[in-house]
Amino acid sequence: MESAPQKLELILQYFDDFNEVQLQQLAALEELYKEWNAKINVISRKDIDSIYLHHVLHSLSIAAIANWQPGTHVIDIGCGGGFPGVPLAIFFPEVKFHLVDSIAKKLKVVDAVAEATGIRNITTQHTRAEEIKNRKFDFAVSRAVAPLKDLWQWSAPLLKKGGNQEIANGLICLKGGDLAQEISESRLRPRMMPVDKIFPEAYFEDKYILHVAK
């Protein structure tokens, strides 16, 4: 682990089972996103210098609760510049990730980052999730894209029921703040996990992982 770049120390505090390829892929993200962000704004300017805390580690909180098996199919709804999908694809190289967004130029960034880092388990599609037909996934993931009610409405038709993994097939989304009203309006009963219980960093206070089983 000594060879891991210094910038990855934060990630390596919490995960220690990356191989050399994964470490190189993770280490490459900062420069790639800085370079692309100058052309196509996918990360806010104030966040770009904290990409490993605010984006990569936040995305990987899903990996801390979902130990996906090889061959699992995951759709990232409204992936933007590739979070949480890109870090998760690095973490789970045997899992297939389909990243969708309604804004084509954001997917251009995802495709470029995947190509530059050699991530082979990502596909992208310029569409809205609700327009996808004849495809099924084990899980849907999303980060701060839309209210839970809408996310479930879009993802539920795309999800296979049940599954045989540690957590049931379903929607896993990253959200922040007071979610009481949003959950109430969704009429769902998600399992809710505070991210700062997984990664005790001040940034993750009031941030949560929600899991809705299919």
3-state secondary structure 131-166: HCCCCCECEEEEECCCCHHHHHHHHHHHECCCCCCC
Residue 130 labeled ligand binder: yes
Residue 129 labeled ligand binder: yes
On whether the pTM is more than 0.85, the answer is yes
Residue 83 labeled ligand binder: yes
Residue 135 labeled ligand binder: no
Residue 1 lies in a domain: no
Residue 154 lies in a domain: yes
Domain that holds residue 122: 6-213
pLDDT of residue 5: 57
Counting as low any pLDDT under 70, the low residues of the chain are: 1-6
Residue 191 lies in a domain: yes
pLDDT of residue 2: 37
Secondary structure of residue 168 in the 3-state scheme: coil
Q: Give me the CATH number covering residue 205.
A: 3.40.50.150
pLDDT of residue 1: 34
First-last CA distance in the chain: 39
Spatial separation of the C-alpha atoms in residues 121 and 25, rounded to whole Å = 13
Number of domains in the chain: 1
Spatial separation of the C-alpha atoms in residues 160 and 214, rounded to whole Å = 7
Residue 43 lies in a domain: yes
